[in-house]
Amino acid sequence: MNKNRELGLNVLTEKAVIPWYCVFLKEMTGFFALLLWGGSALCFIGYGIQKDKIDKSNLYLGIVLAAVVFITGCFSYSQTSKAASLMKDF
Protein backbone atom coordinates (compact mmCIF):
# COMPACT_ATOMS: atom_id res chain seq x y z
CA MET A 1 0.00 0.00 0.00
CA ASN A 2 1.08 3.53 -0.68
CA LYS A 3 1.55 5.46 2.58
CA ASN A 4 1.02 8.82 0.86
CA ARG A 5 -2.39 7.72 -0.33
CA GLU A 6 -3.28 6.36 3.09
CA LEU A 7 -1.88 9.10 5.37
CA GLY A 8 -1.55 12.08 3.03
CA LEU A 9 1.41 14.30 2.32
CA ASN A 10 3.78 15.34 5.08
CA VAL A 11 2.87 19.05 5.01
CA LEU A 12 1.32 21.49 7.43
CA THR A 13 -2.30 22.37 6.80
CA GLU A 14 -2.90 25.97 5.85
CA LYS A 15 -4.65 28.07 8.44
CA ALA A 16 -7.50 30.35 7.39
CA VAL A 17 -6.34 33.95 7.02
CA ILE A 18 -8.14 36.40 9.29
CA PRO A 19 -8.44 39.93 7.85
CA TRP A 20 -6.23 42.54 9.50
CA TYR A 21 -9.15 44.70 10.62
CA CYS A 22 -10.72 41.76 12.50
CA VAL A 23 -7.44 41.13 14.32
CA PHE A 24 -7.10 44.85 15.11
CA LEU A 25 -10.67 45.02 16.40
CA LYS A 26 -10.08 41.94 18.55
CA GLU A 27 -7.05 43.62 20.13
CA MET A 28 -9.07 46.76 20.85
CA THR A 29 -11.96 44.86 22.44
CA GLY A 30 -10.27 42.47 24.83
CA PHE A 31 -11.65 42.23 28.37
CA PHE A 32 -9.18 44.62 29.97
CA ALA A 33 -9.37 47.00 27.00
CA LEU A 34 -13.16 47.11 27.32
CA LEU A 35 -12.83 47.98 30.99
CA LEU A 36 -10.50 50.86 30.12
CA TRP A 37 -12.76 52.04 27.26
CA GLY A 38 -15.65 52.03 29.75
CA GLY A 39 -13.61 54.00 32.28
CA SER A 40 -12.70 56.49 29.60
CA ALA A 41 -16.35 56.87 28.61
CA LEU A 42 -17.34 57.39 32.25
CA CYS A 43 -14.71 60.11 32.57
CA PHE A 44 -16.08 61.89 29.50
CA ILE A 45 -19.63 61.56 30.84
CA GLY A 46 -18.48 62.85 34.23
CA TYR A 47 -16.86 65.85 32.60
CA GLY A 48 -19.97 66.47 30.49
CA ILE A 49 -22.38 66.54 33.43
CA GLN A 50 -20.26 68.50 35.88
CA LYS A 51 -21.31 72.08 36.46
CA ASP A 52 -17.80 73.47 36.99
CA LYS A 53 -16.13 73.21 33.57
CA ILE A 54 -12.94 74.83 34.90
CA ASP A 55 -11.82 71.52 36.47
CA LYS A 56 -10.81 69.43 33.44
CA SER A 57 -9.34 66.47 35.33
CA ASN A 58 -12.08 64.08 34.14
CA LEU A 59 -11.54 65.20 30.56
CA TYR A 60 -7.78 64.68 30.79
CA LEU A 61 -8.20 61.30 32.47
CA GLY A 62 -10.63 60.17 29.75
CA ILE A 63 -8.21 61.24 27.02
CA VAL A 64 -5.28 59.48 28.71
CA LEU A 65 -7.25 56.26 29.22
CA ALA A 66 -8.42 56.25 25.59
CA ALA A 67 -4.87 56.94 24.35
CA VAL A 68 -3.39 54.17 26.52
CA VAL A 69 -5.94 51.63 25.29
CA PHE A 70 -5.39 52.64 21.66
CA ILE A 71 -1.57 52.57 21.89
CA THR A 72 -1.60 49.25 23.74
CA GLY A 73 -3.99 47.80 21.16
CA CYS A 74 -1.75 48.97 18.32
CA PHE A 75 1.29 47.41 19.98
CA SER A 76 -0.57 44.13 20.55
CA TYR A 77 -1.77 44.13 16.95
CA SER A 78 1.79 44.69 15.77
CA GLN A 79 3.05 41.75 17.80
CA THR A 80 0.20 39.51 16.64
CA SER A 81 0.73 40.37 12.99
CA LYS A 82 4.49 39.72 13.28
CA ALA A 83 3.81 36.34 14.85
CA ALA A 84 1.27 35.48 12.15
CA SER A 85 3.76 36.52 9.46
CA LEU A 86 6.45 34.29 10.97
CA MET A 87 4.07 31.35 11.13
CA LYS A 88 3.06 31.94 7.51
CA ASP A 89 6.71 31.93 6.46
CA PHE A 90 7.32 28.76 8.44
- Mean pLDDT for all residues in the chain: 89
| Structural contact between residues 23 and 81, judged by C-beta atoms closer than 8 angstroms | yes
| Structural contact between residues 77 and 24, judged by C-beta atoms closer than 8 angstroms | yes
In sequence order, which residues have a C-beta less than 8 Å from that of residue 56 and are 6 or more positions away?
47
- Percentage of the chain with pLDDT > 90? 66
For position 1, what pLDDT does the model report?
54
Provide the residue ranges of all domains of the chain, joining segments of one domain with +.
20-82
In this prediction, residues 12-33 reach a mean pLDDT of 88
Q: Which residue has the higher pLDDT, 11 or 25?
A: 25
62-76 pLDDT tens trace: 999 999 999 999 999
For position 13, what pLDDT does the model report?
73
